[in-house]
Structure 1
Amino acid sequence: MTFKSSILGLAVVALSTMTAQADEGLSLEGKRIGVAVVGTQHFWDREAFNGATSTVEKLGGEVVPVDGGRDNQVHADNHDVLLTSGVDAVISILGDGAVEPKFQALKSAGIPVFTVDHPSPHAVNNTTSDNYYMGTTIGRYMADAIGGEGKVAVFNAFENALRICGIRTGLWKYVLQDYPGIEIIQPELAEEFANAPEDARKQTLDLLSQYPEGTIDAIHVGCWDQPAIGVVQALEETGRTDIIVTALDGGPDTLEIMAEDGSPFVANVAQQPNLIGSTAAMNVARHFAGETLLPQTYVDVVPVNGAEEAKAAYSSLGYGSLE
């Protein structure tokens, strides 16, 4: 474990400790809190949902959960269900623009909305990672890993659909402007959400058939990291592991791949989705306690550059040990 990784691990632990100390005395006793999540198939979404619901319950509140099944319109319509369910507040996790009129209706009915990874003018507060930092950091890591020049393919299905994806990919591209020797291959690739690893594996195999060995240097996944699993599989199948892979989210499955000897998956930025969901629930309690909240609450991320830092992050984030 590197000194840098050790410090990162201690920082995560310290943040959790300070948060717990600061939250003593908060309560949601007697409150019914709706928790709407876009879906629970993906690790990040599921962990954010679990963090929010478990914290509401720990604070004495009653959870009214709704799951969109990864359908953005179903997720939006679930807010209508919460509107008529007599909830005192709503925590809404992810989603696209279809949720905005639902948030407005809840606000008009006197039901405060708290969002996760979805800034909205109708929300009291949005809890999120610093997506600007994530995008710039992964851009620097990727550029440095290929020596500041080469051809790069990007999976970028959601830049224009989801604000957080637009920020992350937009800042990645912004950083690359400082590296005139790096060329983004066109057209950009668009991954499917459903069964993303297998979809990305097939698209990567097709990409490699078009670019012979030595003509492509990196593959980046612009908003998350599940497609990167399939990208790595395709590189290993074809023996093209000289091509590096970078992505964002840093869940346990992708950190495990990064920690393997000789893995082409070299950089990531790990989030803390459970803590993000928990913090959103704490913000609901703070609101009812009369505190004034800032529009955005940022939860620390853990940059991961290389196998040793992947092992350190895996441990510090509570996933176990890869040593």
Structure 2
Amino acid sequence: MYTSDFDYDKINTDMQSAITQGTDVIVAGFPDPRQIAPLVTAAESSDIPIFSIDGGVEPNEDFVQDITFDQQQIADLGINALDEALGGLEGKDVMVIGHDPHVGIMTRSNIAVDELEAAGATIAGGEMKQVLNPGTSQEETLKFVTDYLQANPDGLDGIWTGWDHAALGAVQAINESGQDDIYVTGVDALGAAAAEIEKEGPFYASVLQDWSQVVDMTVESVEAYRESGELPAENFVEVEAELIDRTNVATYEPKM
């Protein structure tokens, strides 16, 4: 297994080396299709199929199969939950937290901005807030929200975040501010997120992406290829996500 901490120069070099050593199949975990051209070229020249998990948001001929989640549905579930929590979105101030280097987060975050504005909400600060590093996203979002609330004590109604670590930072900032009428939605339904939702505080809902299911589906596809030599019939498979909120969190068993 090769890992890169989002260093695509390293992963491209590592995988090119692996290909020369006799690799038969590549399984890629959330590769950015914009940054793996050397890897793809090396794989194609050696007739090696790439099976991808979360490798983009649209069909891509670089992969014999990419299994991911429906970004439109993810955005919709979070927006609808905020709409419910706030009693409507018209005239509400909503912060959106994104991270453009991740194609999935970028896609669903931009959908969220468009849908919030279409529903009559105002994007807090005038535009989406961009986290620089997923590893520090909780701390970065804590600072975004804290700074905004200090400058605008009554200027925030809700926060839509593209993933749960950012949502947890937003929840921490709201709790520390002492306000009890700002609601947050996230994505991934981590165990820590579920615990916050169960408290019925600022964290209103999160959208579960069951990656264990996707990994199982990918392994099945690779096994089928190993046994038959036939590539998957579909090269792009979107899986439906699930909303975890106050109505079902008590029976929810976190996957991560």
SS of corresponding position for 2:128: coil
Match status 1:67 vs 2:9: no
Q: In structure 2, how many angstroms separate the alpha carbons of the residues matched to 1:204 and 1:197?
A: 11
Select 1:220's aligned residue among 150, 160, 163. 160
Once residues 152 and 106 of structure 2 are traced to their aligned partners in structure 1, the CA distance between those partners, rounded to angstroms, is 27
TM-score for the superposition, normalised by structure 2: 0.87
What is the match of residue 180 of structure 2?
A: 241
Aligned match of 2:52:
115
SS in 2 for 1:123: coil
Does the CA contact (< 8 Å) of 2:99 and 2:106 recur in 1? no
C-alpha distance in structure 1 between counterparts of 2:104 and 2:193, whole Å:
20
CA distance in 1, matches of 2:123, 2:36: 33
Corresponding residue of 1:76 = 12
1:121 Cα offset (Å): 2.1
Cα distance 1:90–1:272, how it changes in 2: closer, same or farther (>3 A)? same
Larger relative contact order (Cα-Cα within 8 Å, sequence gap ≥ 6): 1
Aligned to 1:256, which of 182, 191, 195? 195
Q: For 1:104-156, what per-residue CA distance to the aligned partner results, in whole angstroms no more than 9, with x for missing partners? A: 32022111001111143211000111222111221222223222220011112
* 1:205 matched to 2:142: no
Identity in percent: 21
- CA offsets, 1:247-302, max 9 Å, x none? 21112221121111x32111211011122122112111223322542011233422
Is 1:273 aligned with 2:214? Answer: no
Query: Residues 202 and 234 of structure 1 are in contact (CA less than 8 Å); yes or no, is this contact kept in structure 2?
Result: yes
CA contact (8 A) 1:68 1:78 kept: no
Native 8 Å contact 1:152 1:219 kept in 2: yes
Residue of structure 1 aligned with 2:31, choices 89, 95, 112: 95
8 Å Cα contact 2:159/2:184 also seen in 1: yes
CA distance in 1, matches of 2:236, 2:64: 9
Give the aligned partner of residue 156 of structure 1. 98
Runs (5+) with no aligned partner, structure 2: none
The answer to whether 1:232 aligns with 2:171 is: yes
The aligned amino acid for 1:74 is K
Structure 2: distance between partners of 1:198 and 1:299: 30
Q: Structure 1: state its 5+ residue gaps.
A: 1-64
Contact 1:76 / 1:95 at 8 angstroms: preserved in 2?
A: no
Is 2:22 the partner of 1:86?
yes
Q: CA deviation at 1:167?
A: 2.5
Report runs of 4+ in structure 1 exceeding 6 Å deviation.
Answer: none
Give the counterpart of 1:106 among 17, 22, 43: 43
C-alpha contact (below 8 Å) 1:246/1:266 kept by paired residues: yes
In structure 2, distance between residues paired with 1:280 and 1:263: 37
* Count of residue pairs brought into register by the alignment: 246
* Alignment-mate amino acid for residue 285 of structure 1: E
SS at match of 1:297: strand
**Contact kept? 2:212, 2:255, Cα under 8 Å:** no
Where does residue 144 of structure 1 map in the other structure?
84
Identify if the C-alpha distance between structure 1 residues 295 and 183 changes in structure 2 by more than 3 Å, giving closer, same or farther.
same
Shift in CA distance, 200/174, structure 1 to aligned 2, threshold 3 Å: closer
- 1:135 corresponds to 2:85: no
Contact 1:143–1:179, Cα closer than 8 Å, also in 2: no
Instruction: Report the residue type matching 1:102 in the other structure.
Output: L
Contact between 1:275 and 1:299, CA under 8 Å: does it hold in 2?
Answer: no
8 Å contact 2:51–2:66 — kept in the other structure?
Answer: yes
- TM-score relative to the length of structure 1: 0.70
